[in-house]
């Protein structure tokens, strides 16, 4: 007797976007969800910049707050990050204990994993603790030929503000 072919399991239904709905602040970056949407201009190279001048996390040693100005430059690929979900993701670091370098690079890597941009650059301009400002930069991908990548516009530390 011939076997019946197994039917493939149905693809999971994606969760609805957080945009346009009441949402709650995630307790941690791991719990935060980044929503992505199809890029309607995927055939065009362009740059998107997200700036978060009041980023906050917690020092994993002292428990004191750390503050940064985060700038994310991205040349989108097939997807865009939905900005409300990005905001909630970034806000979820407020109670997260991690060093400056870890926070900055983790944000960049998570965006690359979820959104798959052609190019991403993140600058974390951290305000001083113990008298030393720490600026962290990470990038991945190849900047599309001919695409203008402006300066991130954050002045070197001189009583930044």
Provide the annotated active-site residues: 59, 66
Tell me how crowded residue 127 is: count the other CB atoms within 10 A of its CB: 17
Alpha carbon distance 149, 143 (integer Å): 8
Tell me how crowded residue 45 is: count the other CB atoms within 10 A of its CB: 15
Residue 127 and residue 66 in contact, taking contact as beta carbons nearer than 8 Å: yes
Tell me how crowded residue 34 is: count the other CB atoms within 10 A of its CB: 18
Residue 44 and residue 96 in contact, taking contact as beta carbons nearer than 8 Å: no
């Amino acid at each position: 007797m011939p076997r019946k072919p197994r039917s493939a399991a149905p693809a999971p239904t994606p969760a609805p976007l957080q945009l346009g709905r009441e949402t709650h602040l995630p307790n941690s970056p791991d719990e935060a969800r980044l929503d992505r949407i199809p890029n309607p201009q995927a055939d065009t190279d362009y740059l998107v910049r997200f700036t978060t001048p009041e980023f906050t996390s917690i020092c994993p040693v002292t428990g004191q707050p750390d503050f940064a100005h985060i700038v994310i430059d991205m040349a989108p690929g097939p997807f865009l990050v939905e900005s409300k979900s990005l905001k909630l993701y970034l806000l979820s670091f407020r109670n997260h204990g991690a060093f400056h370098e870890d926070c900055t690079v983790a944000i960049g890597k998570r965006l690359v994993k979820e959104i798959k941009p052609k190019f991403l650059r993140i600058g974390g301009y951290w305000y001083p603790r113990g008298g030393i400002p720490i600026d962290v930069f990470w990038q991945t991908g190849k900047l599309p030929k001919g695409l203008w990548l402006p300066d991130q516009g954050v002045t070197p530390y001189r009583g930044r503000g």
